Chain A
Amino acid sequence: MPKLAQNLIWIVIGVFGAACLGGIALHRGETINALWFIAAAFGIYAVAYRLYAGWIVTRVLVADPSRATPALRINDGRDYVPTHRWITFGHHFAAIAGAGPLVGPTLAAQFGYLPGTLWLLTGAVIGGCVQDMVVLWASTRRDGRTLGQMARDELGPVAGGAALVGTLLIMVLIVAVLGLVVVNAMKHSPWGTFTVAMTIPIAILVGIYMRSIRPGRVLEGSLIGLALLLLATVGGGWVAHDPVLGPMFNFDGPALALMVIGYGFFAAIMPVWLLLAPRDYISTFIKIGAILLLAFAVVILRPELHMPALTQFTDGTGPVVAGGLYPFLFITIACGAVSGFHALISAGTTPKLIMSEKDLRLVGYGSMAMESFVGVMALIAACVLDPGVYFAINSSAGIVGATLETATATITSWGFPVTAEHMQELATAMGETTLLARTGGAPSLAVGMAQIFAGAFGQNLLALWYHFAIMFEALFILTAVDAGTRVGRFMLQDLLGNIWRPLGDTKARGPAIVCSALFVASWGYFLYIGVIDPYGGINILWPLFGISNQMLAAMALAIATTIIVKKGKAAYAWVTGLPMAFLAVTTTYAAWLKLFDPNPRIGFLAGANALEGKLAAGSLSGKALESAPQLIFNQRLDAGLTVFFIIVLWVMIIEMARISLRHVQGQTVPALSEAPYVDVASLPQPTGAGGH
């Protein structure tokens, strides 16, 4: 096709995407159709992938298909395996897409549909996709080195140490906040708790099958697990309604938190083949299947979004996450727009599979665009709900009141009409006793998904779809809890091994148990405090997680910027430098507000002081009185953690600026640690099959 015609097609796609986005932004009717969002997202991702990513790959990274990747050069058949680009894409997408792009956009729907949509699209194409692709390129050029190793090699030991400690703390917060999401989804839900509990014996059964009965038959084992899980989801309804069995699976938040903590510890010390790996296989299939099903259902059903474009909560008074649109939108939606954690995957397994540098764009940029699309789908599912219902599910009892009547009256007074009868009917239709104050995002997402699925495939199975959605979310959240605890244990052993060498031995049983217990205690503490927090916990933990994740993204972009400058491409340093600067400033401002804002719902210190005042005045009673000292301590600990994150971030940025400046001025800097060029033509040709 002539170049002119090709360019014309891309111009048409770009204009189409921009027109759809313009339509979304300017629309002021009562509802808006979901197809506008799908069309805008496709148009923008396609043009950004073709033009912006293409330009970065050619001009900034100077990706060279003739340069042999580590998969081709080392090709040991285990870690380094030249793999077809679509298979690498599948691996990478399955690794980066977790609960984050589902939960963040659901919580951010409190601002209306517009801010979240704009940030998901622009944040991804300018920030998140660029970060993932450039870090993947940098790691591929360095034989698959990790982010921490690249920080140490390119910026020096100070930055390397900051990256290591920062990553460890992020792991703690990620596991805690994901644990909180799953606890809030199971709280007083016998059906949900039974289904989620059954994932453990099912995973163990599949683990035994894949190890001893049919070793390595991953597809067979996963299909058996999938069938059993669907049976467990159906069986959950029967258990929940049974007068004897139902109460056995009815727990409050603190009891469930202790169970998740205990589970996390045992899962971490069990052999990988028994629980973690089979659960991951099953959850990956369900995750991808459910996302495809949701996309299909949205296209078939074309639901109307009932949430307004903007709500009054852009002013910072939001009941779901406290704080104004800027900066809190940008830390509420991390995964789906920009997620620093992805840099750990892009500089880990994936670069060891890349067969050619021409695959970097599809795997790095394309996978993140796909995850951003998952975020858009989650936002659609949340905004399909009546706003009154959305706020009733996602607002904590501490804000709207503990009874159906007071909660619905408060939400109605905000201009989002909802009745106690409607909430009760909805809960009954979903097979639950109540949907009130089910904070954390998972239940409202499940209600939204259930309504979309039921609309597309039949209205009779609402309760089943709801619990299928809860099971789907809980399954991969618990996989992340298992996997996060295991990786956190390795990181802790790596650190503590410097103090006492035997603790660093990852093969020895004793140190593994001690470090697993220490790591589980760390995230377990934040989880438990989150559960007993009268404001729902998510109000504190999610922003802290968002700050830490965006801090990691800014750090990854700082490393990438340094490498671009040291490659002699300082003129293009803005490609990673601009998103880094935006994230650094936004995260620092958010951290400042979390520390010093006088509103007790926003500022950690103000929150601690306000609670201390109530305690001194004797105005607390019951559970609030019991938990107050812990909550006061925790708010101050969170403040300390926030300060630490910001110090780590700015250490990295100052090091980036120092090294880049020295390089530009011709002074000595750590040498580029790129592996030497080897021509592809000098190596035996690979088959292109994937080994993983």
Chain B
Amino acid sequence: MMAGPAQFLRTAWTVLREVSGDAAYENYAARDQPLLDREAFYLSELERRWSGVNRCC
């Protein structure tokens, strides 16, 4: 019976980390041999993300 709420919270936490970008470096490191450290990756992600239309009115 307790698995339901715990599972829900785990899923919610995972979704929150994915949507917010908090898990971006882990995803990057899991995918490739990380060429960039956390800080360099974070900066390059921001530069990439904010080079186009990213927010609406």
How many A-B contacts if CB must be within 8 Å? 126
297-341 of chain A: CB within 8 A of chain B: 335, 339, 341
B19 interfacial contact with A, CB 8 Å: yes
| Shortest distance between the CB of A659 and any CB in chain B (Å) | 25
Q: Which of A86, A100, A210 contacts B57 (CB 8 A)?
A: A100
Q: Are A219 and B16 in touch, CB under 8 angstroms?
A: yes
Q: Are B18 and A276 in touch, CB under 8 angstroms?
A: no
- Known A77-B28, A77-B32, A483-B50: A218·B21 in contact at CB below 8 Å: yes
- Known A210-B42, A218-B22: A178·B27 in contact at CB below 8 Å: no
Residues of chain B within 8 A of A146, CB atoms compared: 52
Residues of chain A within 8 A of B57, CB atoms compared: 98-100, 174, 178, 335, 339, 341, 480, 484, 545, 549
Can you list, as one digit per residue, whether each of B15-45 has a CB less than 8 Å from chain A (1) or not (0)?
Answer: 1111111111101100110000111011101
Q: Are A87 and B28 in touch, CB under 8 angstroms?
A: no
Q: Which of B45, B46, B47, B53 has the most CB of A within 10 A?
A: B53
Q: Give the interface size bracket for A toward B.
A: 35 or more
Inter-chain CA distance A272–B45, complex, in Å, is: 10
Q: Are B21 and A692 in touch, CB under 8 angstroms?
A: yes
Inter-chain CA distance A339–B53, complex, in Å, is: 14
Residues of chain B within 8 A of A473, CB atoms compared: none
Q: Which of the 9-residue segments A89-97, A152-160, A415-423, A426-434 touches chain B?
A: A89-97
Inter-chain CA distance A490–B45, complex, in Å, is: 18
Can you list, as one digit per residue, whether each of A82-123 has a CB less than 8 Å from chain B (1) or not (0)?
Answer: 011011001100111111100000000000000000000000
Inter-chain CA distance A240–B21, complex, in Å, is: 37
Q: Which of the 9-residue segments A5-13, A32-40, A344-352, A524-532 touches chain B?
A: A344-352
- Known A87-B15, A91-B19, A210-B42: A692·B24 in contact at CB below 8 Å: yes
Q: Are B55 and A272 in touch, CB under 8 angstroms?
A: no
Inter-chain CA distance A78–B50, complex, in Å, is: 13
- Known A87-B15, A277-B46, A689-B27: A335·B56 in contact at CB below 8 Å: yes
Chain A residue at minimal CB-CB distance from B43:
A273
Q: Which of B17, B39, B53 contacts A211 (CB 8 A)?
A: B39
Q: Are A100 and B22 in touch, CB under 8 angstroms?
A: no
- Known A90-B15, A217-B22, A219-B20: A690·B27 in contact at CB below 8 Å: yes
A79 interfacial contact with B, CB 8 Å: yes
Residues of chain B within 8 A of A444, CB atoms compared: none
Question: Interface residues of B, CB < 8 Å — how many?
Answer: 34
Chain A residue at minimal CB-CB distance from B20:
A218
457-475 of chain A: CB within 8 A of chain B: none
Residues of chain A within 8 A of B28, CB atoms compared: 77, 691
Residues of chain B within 8 A of A69, CB atoms compared: none
Residues of chain B within 8 A of A99, CB atoms compared: 57
Residues of chain A within 8 A of B55, CB atoms compared: 95, 98, 280, 479-480, 483-484
Q: Are B31 and A77 in touch, CB under 8 angstroms?
A: yes
A486 interfacial contact with B, CB 8 Å: yes
Q: Which of A77, A273, A341, A484 contacts B42 (CB 8 A)?
A: A273
A247 interfacial contact with B, CB 8 Å: no
Residues of chain A within 8 A of B15, CB atoms compared: 86-87, 90
| Shortest distance between the CB of A101 and any CB in chain B (Å) | 9
Residues of chain A within 8 A of B46, CB atoms compared: 272-273, 277
B54 interfacial contact with A, CB 8 Å: yes
Residues of chain B within 8 A of A284, CB atoms compared: 20
Residues of chain B within 8 A of A210, CB atoms compared: 42
Q: Which of B19, B32, B47 contacts A272 (CB 8 A)?
A: B47
Q: Which of B20, B32, B37, B56 has the most CB of A within 10 A?
A: B56
Q: Are A100 and B56 in touch, CB under 8 angstroms?
A: yes
Q: Which of A216, A272, A285 contacts B41 (CB 8 A)?
A: A216
Q: Are B56 and A219 in touch, CB under 8 angstroms?
A: no
Chain B residue at minimal CB-CB distance from A178:
B57
Chain B residue at minimal CB-CB distance from A217:
B22
Residues of chain A within 8 A of B16, CB atoms compared: 219
Residues of chain B within 8 A of A178, CB atoms compared: 57
Q: Which of A86, A280, A341, A545 contacts B56 (CB 8 A)?
A: A341
A222 interfacial contact with B, CB 8 Å: yes
| Shortest distance between the CB of A556 and any CB in chain B (Å) | 13
B51 interfacial contact with A, CB 8 Å: yes
A361 interfacial contact with B, CB 8 Å: no
| Shortest distance between the CB of B15 and any CB in chain A (Å) | 6
16 A-B residue pairings within 8 Å (CB atoms): A87-B15, A87-B19, A174-B57, A215-B41, A216-B39, A216-B41, A217-B22, A219-B20, A273-B46, A342-B56, A344-B56, A345-B53, A480-B57, A689-B18, A690-B18, A691-B24
* A-B contacts besides A215-B38, A218-B20, 14 pairs, CB < 8 Å: A178-B57, A215-B42, A216-B22, A218-B22, A272-B47, A273-B46, A335-B56, A335-B57, A342-B56, A349-B52, A483-B50, A487-B52, A689-B27, A692-B18
List the 9 shortest-distance A-B pairs measured between CB atoms, nearest first: A216-B42, A215-B39, A90-B19, A215-B38, A690-B18, A344-B53, A100-B57, A691-B27, A483-B55
